[in-house]
């Protein structure tokens, strides 16, 4: 895709965000201090891809994370060229749902928390990690394992798990934390 096509595609994306936010060009112009003509040219692909500085001005009024604009403008494909100022605020959450809906920012985070996919604190994430380790061990202890054609009992499987812990301590979590 050449730069003109990219600019047009980005302009359409930007126009979609503006209409989604129920803003006219005049309202967006007032919020960003950019002229209506300049904004129109960007939306129609006649100004090229806006600079990271200009994208930062557009992010808040369009109710979209700065990082998302940077991503759609193709600045994140090679972020080594970005200055510290341009990198500031690049974190963003974008979630595509199976029904085609796209959730952004806090809305995406809230959805992930409601589904139990996102933890609101470090403590909550550590607790989930402990539960996952316990579940992993439980699965191991309940699997059928055979040795030389003999099915091992649960106690024998537990002994194997203990021996593995002794043999590979670098992979074992601190038992006091579990």
Domains and CATH numbers, the chain: 3-91 (1.10.260.40), 122-171 (no CATH)
Model pLDDT for residues 50-67, shown as the tens digit of each residue: 998 899 899 889 988 787
Burial of 62 (0-12, 13-18, 19+ CB in 10 A): buried
* Termini Cα distance of the chain: 52
Backbone angles phi, psi at 94, to 5 degrees: -135, 125
Mean pLDDT throughout 120-133?
Answer: 70
According to DSSP, the β-strands at 146-147 and 150-151 are: antiparallel
Report the percentage of the chain scoring pLDDT > 90.
26
**DSSP-assigned beta bridge partners for residue 95:** 103
Choose the weakest-confidence range: 114-118, 129-133, 162-166. 114-118
Query: What band does 116 get if pLDDT is binned at 50, 70 and 90?
Result: low
Indicate the average pLDDT of the chain.
79
> What 3-state class would DSSP assign to 48?
coil
Backbone angles phi, psi at 95, to 5 degrees: -130, 125
Question: How many C-beta neighbours within 10 Å does residue 25 have?
Answer: 17
Model pLDDT for residues 25-43, shown as the tens digit of each residue: 999 999 999 999 999 999 9
Query: For residue 12, which of 48, 59, 44, 51 has the smallest C-alpha distance?
Result: 44
What's the chain's length in residues? 178
Q: Is the pTM of this model over 0.75?
A: no
């Amino acid at each position: 895709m050449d730069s003109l096509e990219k600019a047009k595609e980005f302009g359409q994306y930007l126009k979609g965000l503006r209409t989604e936010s129920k803003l006219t060009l005049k309202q967006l112009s007032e919020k960003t201090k950019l002229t209506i003509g300049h904004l129109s040219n960007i939306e129609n692909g006649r100004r090229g891809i806006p600079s990271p500085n200009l994208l930062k001005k557009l992010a808040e009024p369009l109710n979209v994370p700065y990082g998302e604009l940077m991503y759609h403008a193709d600045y994140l494909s090679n972020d080594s060229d970005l200055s510290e100022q341009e990198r500031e605020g690049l974190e963003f959450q974008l979630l595509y749902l199976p029904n085609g809906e796209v959730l952004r920012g806090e809305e995406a985070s809230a959805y992930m928390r409601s589904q139990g996919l996102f933890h609101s604190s470090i403590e909550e994430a550590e607790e989930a990690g402990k539960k996952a380790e316990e579940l992993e061990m439980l699965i191991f202890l309940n699997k059928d394992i055979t040795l030389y054609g003999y099915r091992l009992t649960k106690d024998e499987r537990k002994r194997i798990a203990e021996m593995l812990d002794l043999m590979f301590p670098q992979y074992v979590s601190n038992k006091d934390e579990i």
